[in-house]
Amino acid sequence: MAEQSGIPSVVVAGSAFKKQAEVTANDQGVPSLRVAVYPGPFDLHSDAQLRENAVKVVVPQVIEALTKPLPESASARASLKEQKVRETVFTGTIDEVNRYFSDYQWSDGMAIIPPTVERVEAFLEYTGYAPYEEIAVLPLANLRATPWNIAVNAVMAGARPEYMPIVIAAVQAIGDPAFRLAVTGGSTHSFNTFFWVNGPLARQLGIEFGQGLIAAHANQSIGRTMSLIERNIAGFRTKETQMGTFGKLQSWVLAEDEEALKRIGWQPDHVSRGFDKDASTVSAASSTFMGQNTIPSTSDPKVLMQLLAYGITYNEALASGMINSPRTLLITPTTAEVLAKGGYTKRTLIADLAETARKPTYEWTFSKVYGSYGRVFGSFDRELQRELNDPRAAKGKLPPWYPRAPGWEDIKTTPSVARHGIRILVCGDPSRNKAQVLAGGRGGSVKEVRLPANWDDLMEKAGYRPLKEFVLH
């Protein structure tokens, strides 16, 4: 706000993040942000190095920035030219088009389908929205996502026109402030956006929920569409505003196996969130990686729950002891069946997982202080004492995978995740005994899919069976 009022101010950023700060500021209407650069990763520097760099490197930059007049262009928001969405930007062969889009960073570097006006208009037939109607405003670029520019990215990704309602709901989901796209989209921690679809529309469109689910065409092409939308509408571009240290994976998409859920008496995810079972929804979350397999090898539901809690405890988004970091737990139908036969529902399973997934407070504090947050919380001994006095730390709750050595009852443990941070999705190969924990960033959202009034006619022409045939009774 100071910059927009013409008052000089300075942002201090790491050396790799100067460009991100400048681009982000420009998108917010501050085209000449002053940035003071701290050299290198400050978390790895000693206190003496921090003081020296602050005094000799950062402070002189701050002084210069605060005493240097702002240029005229910095005191007013840059004007936006009307976007000519139907204008042809390039004409050439398929190879030339791909090279052009790659050079302008409009593609992910892989081959695209050229988004011609004719192709885009074919996609728009499958949505009940006006072509330029605002669907969401996506940070960081704060550009309007409309059916038109959403369809452009879907064409490029190789999606099919009938996937548009799913894609639009997915855009609404990441555009919801509750999702926190501005935080996860460009994070150095490489948070990857993923989606899951519930309801009859997922089954009608063939969004895979079984073996190899994220590799199916519908799942892959919708995921790629969303990655391109993050790039081209939200404005997250590698080495500028997408600062994943090791890069960022393509978004992935899955569906829940609702037929399996019905057999074992569990609720689909969207029903547990208050939607009608016949509604179709798209949910969005983020994860720092695809997860690590847990392979349950027991028919005892209590031990199986404990093994899942073990997986939750040791699959963290960051080595920083963030207890509110959500965990999305993928469970195969056969694994879920063992739990259901033992009397578990999703709700009671989540309660037991949250109670069991704990770490010794000493271990939890170690990861918190020395795993990225040490410079924030101070010395290990001081933080350990603070955590031991926290009411969440308790004696007598050592998880079952720790040995019961003499005095174990006095060891204080801290929960690895809050109950509200656990999601359970039943999917994957029904013949396998597998579970997988996806540890992610805070935030998430769910949106109901809106279909055009003539959906059944459109789908009949496209060769699909009617939607009503995919409703589970």
User: Do residues 283 and 173 lie in contact, with contact meaning Cβ atoms separated by under 8 Å?
Assistant: yes
| Boundaries of every domain in the chain | 3-75, 94-288+443-470, 360-415
pLDDT at 150: 99
DSSP calls for 294-360: E----S-HHHHHHHHHHHHHT--SSTT--TT--EEEEE-HHHHHHHHHTT--HHHHHHHHHHH-EEE
Looking at the DSSP assignment, which residues form a beta bridge with residue 32? none
Peptide bond into 33 cis (omega under 30): no
Chunked into runs of 10 residues, the chain (473 residues) has average pLDDT values of: 66 72 66 79 76 81 76 43 72 97 95 98 97 95 96 99 99 96 86 96 98 96 98 92 85 98 98 97 92 90 98 82 80 98 98 97 87 67 93 96 94 94 97 93 92 98 98 94
| Count of other CB atoms within 10 angstroms of residue 456 | 15
**What's the token pair of residue 391?**
């009411």
The residue whose two tokens read 């602050």 is 54
Confidence (pLDDT) at 82? 40
pLDDT, residue 80, reads 36
Residues in contact with 40: Cβ distance below 8 Å, sequence separation at least 6, in sequence order:
14, 15, 53
Distance of CA 384 to the CA centre of its chain: 31
CB burial string 205-241: b at 16+ within 10 A, e below? bebbbbeebbebebbbbbbbbbbbbbbbbbbbbeebb
Dist CA 282 CA 292 (whole Å):
24
Return left, alpha or beta for 291; rule: phi > 0 is left, psi -120 to 50 is alpha, else beta.
Answer: left
Q: In a 3-state reduction of DSSP, which class is residue 192? A: strand
pTM metric for this prediction: 0.87
Residue 26 confidence (pLDDT): 66
- Angle in degrees, 0-180, between the axes of helices 217-232 and 164-175, rounded to the nearest 10: 40
